[in-house]
Amino acid sequence: MTQSASAYARAHQSDSLDRLFEFLRIPSISTSPEHRDDIQRAGEWLVTRMREIGLSRAEIIPTAGQPVVYGEWLGAGPGAPTLLIYGHYDVQPTDPDEEWNSPPFEPTIRGELLYARGASDNKGQHYVHLAATEAFFQTEGAPPVNLKFLIEGEEEVGSPNLGDFIQGNAEMLACDAALISDTGMVEAKTPTITYGVRGMAYMEVEIKGPKRDLHSGAYGGVAHNPLQVMTEILAALHDDQGRVAIPGFYDKVRPLTEDERAEFKRIPFDEAAFRQEVGSPALWSGEAGYTPLERLGARPTLELHGIRGGFVGEGQKTVIPARLLAKVSMRLVPDQDPLEIAQLFEKRVRELAPPTVEVTVRTLSYADAAVIERDAPAMRCAVRAYAEGFDADPVFLRSGGTLPVVAMLNKVLKAPVIMMGFGLPDDNAHAPNEKLSLDNFRRGINTSIHFMQELAAACA
Amino acid sequence: MTQSASAYARAHQSDSLDRLFEFLRIPSISTSPEHRDDIQRAGEWLVTRMREIGLSRAEIIPTAGQPVVYGEWLGAGPGAPTLLIYGHYDVQPTDPDEEWNSPPFEPTIRGELLYARGASDNKGQHYVHLAATEAFFQTEGAPPVNLKFLIEGEEEVGSPNLGDFIQGNAEMLACDAALISDTGMVEAKTPTITYGVRGMAYMEVEIKGPKRDLHSGAYGGVAHNPLQVMTEILAALHDDQGRVAIPGFYDKVRPLTEDERAEFKRIPFDEAAFRQEVGSPALWSGEAGYTPLERLGARPTLELHGIRGGFVGEGQKTVIPARLLAKVSMRLVPDQDPLEIAQLFEKRVRELAPPTVEVTVRTLSYADAAVIERDAPAMRCAVRAYAEGFDADPVFLRSGGTLPVVAMLNKVLKAPVIMMGFGLPDDNAHAPNEKLSLDNFRRGINTSIHFMQELAAACA
């Protein structure tokens, strides 16, 4: 008998890592235009790799923004199930660079951890499935299911063109189940199937007051300080119960069922360890009436990211800043409509703004939330695959993160979306020293192999 | 008869401007350490110029910070009054540089205006008195009063070492009156004697929450966002009546007398023109119960200058910032004690801070407010000098700006401090396109000449 796919993957771990290193070295940051060429290079690298592995089709498909990489192998035939695997080859910016212990685009192994921007989010995680696919081609001749890979380049900027792409290519992307590894496990020993993701509305608030920066000694007290206005507006967006203070914000929030709250209670959550991991003197009590995990995954939130403008250098300057720009995002849950929420946000900000300033509110991106049926057949296949890959039953989690693609795939392709994430809570996904657990990388490949086998068996 | 000093000054205006240009070309920015050499060069330039003009002593005197330039000529003899003239040779930073219409350190005349960083604040203004002194030496052989020049290099960073310098050199600096041209006129046709300046406490508030920047999708709702905390604290520093909401803040504020309020009413103030000059859609009603000019000059204020930290780049990043730093200053009036106010500020900020963050409050600088007797003999000399220099009676104003030196000179040397300012409200003192009116420069030299003559005559 030939070697099994799992045995092959185990024997060729270091080859897989070498290939992943090549991928991680490409600084494919999608949030700033100067990395456009790197984005292209990362896409080309993927196409080459897909062809080497044995996919019958692999190409870069342009969009209005960064291109999508699409690969497929349909050799399992029309009788076999078709699995669509989604990932993204773009990564977050790396600032503040001085806080990295090794360069963000020079993958470095320390202990059992692989450090690099994109290691966990998301190159390392979707590479798991390419490695699993390669193992089938190298051993059993071919994977047991038809495979489609959809790897986008704009996830970190809110996937502005992916919805149109999926809509416009629904036939090409048709599948029986979609698989995404872009989420995390609640802890290293507890594999986790994420069945819900939050939506998003990312806003910019610009406040213009004086036509130029003013000397506070000459104008303070009569010229209204736009930074004072900005802090007063932003502070008014939460009430003293930790709730988002935007009228109508909670109107369409789907209440948590008893069953879901029970599932949340099953999830191990060590509050002291979480606090230590965060590093704050204390955790926030947040929205009254909900547990930390419920607030993290199943309740909407509003976060302030930064305020640009004014004097922020060393020393002192007594300036009344002429204009300020705040970055604010809201994480949303079913059935909040992101565009409606963006409108409610703008309405509230305008109500709060005094007549002394000019306010502009922009929606930079938005995404639907999604919750997937936990008893779909593909979900059961995933549970069995985890038993092989991690020797443990997974828990079901609603995640706080936003994966716009989940709602898109679920809605357009009408397929269950299985979020099989191999990230860990301390992976520093959007921060310095991003890392991936090598143990999870290995177990992930094995889980992916077993998931494809389970899926084939379930439909046989 | 020889030419009068006034006639000489008129005839040599362009020479005076040429010399001032040399001075303005030196980028003596005191707020950032990389300009240390320029500060030194500006001091040396002044010493050379003072010697050329005819002062008998001119030297750079080191302090714990940037050096002081001291010059004197005591040839009028012990029977004549001694006038101390204060100025500062350091200037504000120039950012945002792209908003300057000509380079900040390349003095440029457009129409009757001289554009350069420091043109109004303060090189151009104290150079007025050097030009007046030169006119006396070139015509009447010598000035009619003894002269002492004290030109410091740290005004724009809050004069941290000037108090010690004056205290330690009180004998050298002893004088019958002090003259400062570092304030402004209420409008181009109305010469203005400033008889009060506000004090200052410049604060930094640092808030640390998580030990690193966090992904808002993974932590939002449970990790308390330090920017949310910062905006809530800063917003709470004003109440809805425009008052500073720090307990005890107003306790020691000396109430405005009826006489002072009447003097304020005499000052022309065109609210519509002021609004247009500011450029905001509307002016702020500010602290309830006070007119705009009272709020600008005789009431304390609190201003927010900037908040450093978080994500402020193009596009979007969903980060919960680990730490933030806010710059806040308070303008104070007699008899508020800046150090006590700084303590009240810190106490209030600490009260407002939740246990989820670590707060550090720093006092970057502080300065006493001052109000000078309006009926001192030297004040009457100044009024008469203005009649010659500007063909108009000056108004008396309490200014909103902060000149730490006023309280220092007044307290230590026990001399009346005459603030004879030639700046205009739209001089952009701390902003791009700083300028000085050439008409005011010429009239200022003539007023200075007459002031020295009046002072000599009053004491004769």
Going from the C-alpha of A90 to that of each of A24, A109, A148, the distances in angstroms are 10, 21, 19
Q: Please report the pLDDT score of residue B81 as a whole number.
A: 97
Q: B364: helix, coil or strand?
A: strand
CA A51 to centroid of chain Cα atoms: 27
3-state secondary structure B218-269: HHECCECCHHHHHHHHHHCCECCCCCECCCCCCCCCCCCCHHHHHHHHHCCC
User: Where in B390-440 does DSSP place strands (E)?
Assistant: 395-398, 417-420, 435-437
Q: What is the mean pLDDT of residues A153-158?
A: 90
Q: What is the mean pLDDT of residues B47-74?
A: 97
Residue B98: Cβ-neighbour burial (10 angstroms; 0-12, 13-18, 19+): exposed
Residues B388 and B382: beta-carbon distance below 8 Å:
no
Q: Is the pLDDT of residue A150 over 80?
A: yes
What is the distance between the alpha carbons of residues B316 and B391, in angstroms, rounded to a whole number?
59
Q: Does residue B32 or residue A40 have the better pLDDT?
A: A40
> Hey, how many other C-beta atoms are within 10 angstroms of the C-beta on A282?
13
Residue A439 has φ and ψ, to the nearest 5°, of -60, -45
CA A319, A320, A321, A327 dihedral sign is positive
Residue A101: Cβ-neighbour burial (10 angstroms; 0-12, 13-18, 19+): exposed
Token reading at A344 = 């409610």
| Each residue's pLDDT tens digit, B93-137 | 998 899 999 999 999 999 999 999 999 999 999 999 999 999 999
Q: A359: helix, coil or strand?
A: strand
Whether residue B265 lies within 8 A of chain A, CB to CB, comes out as no
| Each residue's pLDDT tens digit, A358-374 | 999 999 989 999 999 98
Decide if B216 and A301 are in contact by the 8 Å CB cutoff: yes
Please identify which residue in the block is written with the tokens 């029970």. A262
Residue A68 has φ and ψ, to the nearest 5°, of -95, 140
What is the distance between the alpha carbons of residues B147 and B169, in angstroms, rounded to a whole number?
16
Closest chain A CA to residue B328: A318
Percent above pLDDT 90 for chain A = 87
| Each residue's pLDDT tens digit, B399-435 | 888 888 999 999 999 999 999 999 998 899 888 999 9
Set of chain B residues whose Cβ sits within 8 Å of the Cβ of A117: none
Lowest mean pLDDT among A336-350, A387-401, B128-142: A387-401
What is the distance between the alpha carbons of residues A136 and A99, in angstroms, rounded to a whole number?
40
Average pLDDT, chain A: 95
Query: Does the bond joining B337 to the residue before it have cis omega, within 30 degrees of 0?
Result: no
CA A193 to centroid of chain Cα atoms: 15
Decide if B234 and A235 are in contact by the 8 Å CB cutoff: yes
Residue B9 has φ and ψ, to the nearest 5°, of -60, -45
Residue of A200, A203, A205, A231 to mutate, interface with B, max B Cβ within 10 Å: A231
Decide if B316 and A365 are in contact by the 8 Å CB cutoff: yes
Return residues 106-145 of A near B (CB < 8 Å).
none
Give chain B's domains with CATH numbers. Answer: 5-197+370-458 (3.40.630.10), 199-253+300-367 (3.30.70.360)
Set of chain A residues whose Cβ sits within 8 Å of the Cβ of B182: none
Residue A3: Cβ-neighbour burial (10 angstroms; 0-12, 13-18, 19+): middle
Pairing of strands B177-180, B82-88: parallel
Q: Please report the pLDDT score of residue B1 as a whole number.
A: 45
Rg of the Cα atoms in chain A: 23
Q: Is the pLDDT of residue A34 over 90?
A: yes
Q: Is the pLDDT of residue B309 over 90?
A: yes
Token reading at B314 = 């193009």
> Hey, how many other C-beta atoms are within 10 angstroms of the C-beta on A450?
21
Q: What is the mean pLDDT of residues B235-257?
A: 97
Please identify which residue in the block is written with the tokens 């992930």. A444
Which of B92, B313, B355 is closest, CB to CB, to A317?
B92
Q: B6 to chain A nearest CA, in Å?
A: 32
State the ipTM, two decimals: 0.82
Token reading at B420 = 């004879």
Closest chain A CA to residue B329: A318
| Beta-bridge partners for B31 | none
Residues B449 and B132: beta-carbon distance below 8 Å:
yes
Q: Which residues contact B359 (CB under 8 A, 6 or more apart)?
A: B205, B206, B207, B208, B349, B350, B353
Closest chain B CA to residue A425: B218
Q: How confident is the model at residue B174 (pLDDT cuts 50, 70, 90)?
A: very high
Q: Please report the pLDDT score of residue B460 as a whole number.
A: 63
Q: Does residue A316 or residue B35 have the better pLDDT?
A: B35
Whether residue A306 lies within 8 A of chain B, CB to CB, comes out as yes
| Residue B436 DSSP class | E
Q: Please report the pLDDT score of residue B10 as a whole number.
A: 95
What is the distance between the alpha carbons of residues B111 and B139, in angstroms, rounded to a whole number?
30
| Each residue's pLDDT tens digit, A202-228 | 999 999 999 999 989 889 999 999 999
Percent above pLDDT 90 for chain B = 87
Please identify which residue in the block is written with the tokens 């803040």. B249
Q: Please report the pLDDT score of residue A357 as a whole number.
A: 98
Q: What is the mean pLDDT of residues B302-316?
A: 94
Decide if A331 and B287 are in contact by the 8 Å CB cutoff: no
Token reading at A78 = 């029309």
Whether residue A397 lies within 8 A of chain B, CB to CB, comes out as no
Residue B292 has φ and ψ, to the nearest 5°, of -55, -45
Q: A3: helix, coil or strand?
A: coil
Q: A273: helix, coil or strand?
A: helix
| Each residue's pLDDT tens digit, A91-104 | 999 988 999 999 99
> Hey, how many other C-beta atoms are within 10 angstroms of the C-beta on B22?
12
Q: Please report the pLDDT score of residue A460 as a whole number.
A: 63
Whether residue A184 lies within 8 A of chain B, CB to CB, comes out as yes
Decide if B216 and A305 are in contact by the 8 Å CB cutoff: yes
Residue of B35, B97, B197, B216 to mutate, interface with A, max A Cβ within 10 Å: B216
